[in-house]
Structure 1
Amino acid sequence: MKEIKNTEKLILFEEITKSVKKIYRQNKDDEKKEKFLIYSFIKGNIDYEYDGEKIKKIIIEDSDEFPSFISQYGYGFSERSLNNFFRYKFNDNKIDTIILSESKTSTRQKSSLVLNYDDIELLLKLIRQEQRACDDTKKTLIKNLIVDIFPDVNFDYSETNNNKDLILRNLNDKLIAKLTANEIQALGEFYVKATQKFKAGHIIKKMTAGLMKNAQILSLQEIIIKYEKLLTENPAESEWQKFFDEYITLFDSRYVHKVNYKNIATGITKYPDLVLVDIYGYIDFYELKKSSTDLIQYDKSHKTWFWSKDVSMVIAQVSDYIQKSKENALPYAKTIKEETETDTEQGLEVNIINPRAIIVIGHTKQLDTEKKRNHFKNLRESLKDIEFVLYDELLERLKNLLASIQTSATLTPDNCPDDLPF
């Protein structure tokens, strides 16, 4: 073992055995002159000893040099807060090693955390920025106190926390939980002022679209949770009717109005569960059955599948809606306009031209063979102006819609995906 470096407080020693080179540290103030292993050069890596409560080793991969953020004398990360975190605050019992890499993406590998150099450098930049902002805030608070107590002293009052990056990083869910109603109102007023900075209409449109997207995401997340609960409970048709009546215009924006059909004479003896008007003024009838309703039955003599009794009845039912609405198209449209008219708004103009009926019913788990699926597909596509939507299909569409909105958060309003199509 030979001495390779002598500083004011330390002596470094080198020990070479076969293909491994080890570096030790000795404190000059240590009367026992104990030597502590700092790191070893092994197979192109630097194995760095670390005294964390959980992290015991740092491997500097594919290198014989230290990155700027690691101490060559065995004291871990150069940045104190980062070092303290991995030494004392990191408490995952399954992780004992950190691998530092210039080429690999930051990820987890079994009992190791791989950290890319660039990610650490960015983190250190943010920490330094935060520290500078904190120091600036402290100075400003001191100066403002002097101004408040001694107004004749030649200082100007300054606003604190004017660091843009610091403010933006703190706009998170934890902050929302701490805000009062007045503070939220102040944020809203700030947002209005901020939009006035931009004269270009497309920028304001984009910012507004972003807020609308976030609101839509929150609404869809709530709708999906309630929908999944109903699908599990398999409630009565009336419960599904309440759900669709409350939420369908939120998850299918084609529809802009629900018609209170029970106040409207249509010549129909039994009312559909929902009557919806789309953005073009066309009418759709919705009929809701239970998710457990049998879809098809087997005909042994012909070795084929046909509609179940319940489905046949609902097909006849919605066919009657469609036929009666066509026969009474003009008085139906007139009555809708009169019933939806208010003292401030004109009544709704609707088109009773080829109205559709959408039947929400059943579950794909009933179609557990390819033959069943094919026969159901053929039966489904044979109907004119009548569409079938299975409950789990709709749930999947809701989830896909949510995913597409989340994915398209950075898109402009002009090329965002459409809402859920039936």
Structure 2
Amino acid sequence: MDGNEPAFFDRRPAASGALSYGSRLVVRDTTRVLIEVIPIFIPHKNSSTELSMKLVRTDKLTGEQCEMTLKSEDLCVLKRHIAQALSVSEQDDDGQYLVLRTDGLGAQLDASDDAVGAIGSALENRRFAAQLAHHVNPETLAKAFSAAVRIGELRAAVTELQEHLAEGRYREDVYQDWCERHSWAFGNAYVARDDHRVIGIGDHVDLLMKSTASGLRDVYELKRPDKDVILYDDTHQNWYWSAHTAKAIGQCHRYLDTLHRAAEFGMRPARPDIVAYHPRAVVIIGRSHDWDEAKLHALHGLNSRMHGIAVMTYDQLLSQCHALLSHVTAADEATAAVATGLTA
């Protein structure tokens, strides 16, 4: 059957009701061996359904079976490896190949047509290609190209956030989606976000971030960028939290209590692996691009008086992204230059 043709697919619930199974898909069926794949769909209340696959090999002569289950992340890695191997299989000769994903390069908004053309011309130049073949390790070259694509993706993400703010997009779900796709914006202190966000009855956090160092979780609460962060009291001549910020701080206080109570046992029974011990929370709200130094100092001062909760603006998040991008760009360019021996 052609891979583009429609196929019948039966998805049915398991007896437990906790997950669903798909039809058995035959990979190989000979007189001796039957190899099948069984899709397993694991639903989550607050994230997309997770896909796993069970591989079953049956020896028809002995009746012996062996099974292996691949999780969702395993399938993504396998899919990438298969795509790369298939692209190499289209070539007739053995050798060392650089398999490069190029669709991400187009996302670099500041990449001019001249720059793209120059890269293409250089790669087509036989003399240049010979130099690379003799002096550059193909694996190192692949890493250098991957770094360039990664920097382009980060740069495109920063540009996207800038456009959201500049064009006055104020809905929380816009920034929720952006933060879920770009958890790197919160720094290398975190591994990634969690898909699971329900931490208790009535408590649904925006982002749970897993600490790189401890494996414990911190909370990020997102509010609208058009809301006031702090206000000034002319009578008493002091700054104070706006009503929107104060409500968000109160929410985080409840979240932290819930996570702290769950520290010993995790969030049983749904996610026993998610634990927190003295967790932190960060509220992201409002803009600060037009603030003067006194107001920025006031926000810093109010934050310093709180314990376990901090407030930052979307412009401060954007500045943090620019700093991270500059650091990654400088590090990757230096590594690539040293590794390849190519200089500008």
Q: TM-score range by the shorter chain?
A: 0.5 to 0.7
Q: Of the candidates 164, 188, 204, which is equivalent to residue 271 of structure 1?
A: 204
Corresponding position: 1:397 with 2:343: no
Question: 1:357 is matched with which residue?
Answer: 281
Deviation of residue 222 (structure 1)?
Answer: 0.7
- Counterpart of 2:248, as a letter, is V
Deviation of residue 212 (structure 1)?
Answer: 4.0
Q: In 2 relative to 1, CA 251–174 (structure 1 residues): closer, same or farther, beyond 3 Å?
A: farther
* Residues 25-64 of structure 1: pairs in structure 2 closer than 5 A: none
Deviations 1:264-318 (A, max 9, x none): 5x33523111112132312021111122211112233322111111111000001
Q: Is the 8 A contact 1:220 1:402 kept in 2?
A: yes
Deviations 1:337-382 (A, max 9, x none): 46xxxxxxxxxx4441111111111222463352x33322210111
Deviation of residue 257 (structure 1)?
Answer: 3.5
User: Could you tell me how far apart the structure 1 residues matched to 2:257 and 2:134 are?
Assistant: 51
Deviations 1:365-401 (A, max 9, x none): 463352x333222101111111222111221222222
SS in structure 1 of the partner of residue 191 of structure 2: strand
User: Could you tell me how far apart the structure 2 residues matched to 1:326 and 1:196 are?
Assistant: 55
Deviation of residue 258 (structure 1)?
Answer: 2.6
User: Could you tell me how far apart the structure 2 residues matched to 1:251 and 1:303 are?
Assistant: 34
Q: In 2 relative to 1, CA 309–366 (structure 1 residues): closer, same or farther, beyond 3 Å?
A: farther
Q: In 2 relative to 1, CA 268–332 (structure 1 residues): closer, same or farther, beyond 3 Å?
A: farther
Question: 1:225 is matched with which residue?
Answer: 159
Q: Is the 8 A contact 1:234 1:290 kept in 2?
A: no
Structure 1: runs of 5+ lacking an equivalent? 1-170, 185-189, 339-348, 416-422
* Residues 32-181 of structure 1: pairs in structure 2 closer than 5 A: 173-174=116-117
Q: Is the 8 A contact 1:285 1:358 kept in 2?
A: yes
User: Could you tell me how far apart the structure 1 residues matched to 2:158 and 2:200 are?
Assistant: 36
Question: 2:218 is matched with which residue?
Answer: 284
- Counterpart of 1:246, as a letter, is R
* Residues 5-20 of structure 1: pairs in structure 2 closer than 5 A: none
- Counterpart of 2:172, as a letter, is E
Identity of aligned residues (%): 22
Deviation of residue 250 (structure 1)?
Answer: 6.7
- Counterpart of 2:262, as a letter, is N
Corresponding position: 1:375 with 2:298: yes
Q: Is the 8 A contact 1:357 1:387 kept in 2?
A: yes
User: Could you tell me how far apart the structure 1 residues matched to 2:186 and 2:116 are?
Assistant: 25
Corresponding position: 1:294 with 2:228: yes
Q: In 2 relative to 1, CA 251–327 (structure 1 residues): closer, same or farther, beyond 3 Å?
A: closer
Q: In 2 relative to 1, CA 214–314 (structure 1 residues): closer, same or farther, beyond 3 Å?
A: same
Corresponding position: 1:325 with 2:325: no
Q: In 2 relative to 1, CA 248–318 (structure 1 residues): closer, same or farther, beyond 3 Å?
A: same
SS in structure 2 of the partner of residue 235 of structure 1: coil
User: Could you tell me how far apart the structure 2 residues matched to 1:353 and 1:399 are?
Assistant: 30
TM-score (norm. length: structure 2): 0.54
TM-score (norm. length: structure 1): 0.45
Task: Tell me the matched-pair count.
Answer: 218
Question: 1:244 is matched with which residue?
Answer: 179
Q: Of the candidates 234, 246, 249, which is equivalent to residue 315 of structure 1?
A: 249
- Counterpart of 2:276, as a letter, is I
- Counterpart of 2:297, as a letter, is N
Q: Is the 8 A contact 1:268 1:321 kept in 2?
A: no
User: Could you tell me how far apart the structure 1 residues matched to 2:119 and 2:189 are?
Assistant: 32
Deviations 1:200-254 (A, max 9, x none): xxx95x6565334312210111101111111112321111111111122477444
Q: In 2 relative to 1, CA 302–250 (structure 1 residues): closer, same or farther, beyond 3 Å?
A: closer
SS in structure 1 of the partner of residue 208 of structure 2: strand
Question: 1:256 is matched with which residue?
Answer: 191
User: Could you tell me how far apart the structure 2 residues matched to 1:250 and 1:216 are?
Assistant: 14
Q: Is the 8 A contact 1:268 1:320 kept in 2?
A: no
Higher mean C-alpha displacement, 208-217 vs 288-297: 208-217
Superposition RMSD on alpha carbons, in Å?
A: 3.7
User: Could you tell me how far apart the structure 1 residues matched to 2:264 and 2:185 are?
Assistant: 29
Q: In 2 relative to 1, CA 305–250 (structure 1 residues): closer, same or farther, beyond 3 Å?
A: closer
User: Could you tell me how far apart the structure 1 residues matched to 2:333 and 2:227 are?
Assistant: 41
User: Could you tell me how far apart the structure 2 residues matched to 1:255 and 1:358 are?
Assistant: 13
Deviation of residue 174 (structure 1)?
Answer: 0.9
User: Could you tell me how far apart the structure 1 residues matched to 2:151 and 2:328 are?
Assistant: 7
Q: In 2 relative to 1, CA 324–252 (structure 1 residues): closer, same or farther, beyond 3 Å?
A: same
Question: 1:406 is matched with which residue?
Answer: 329
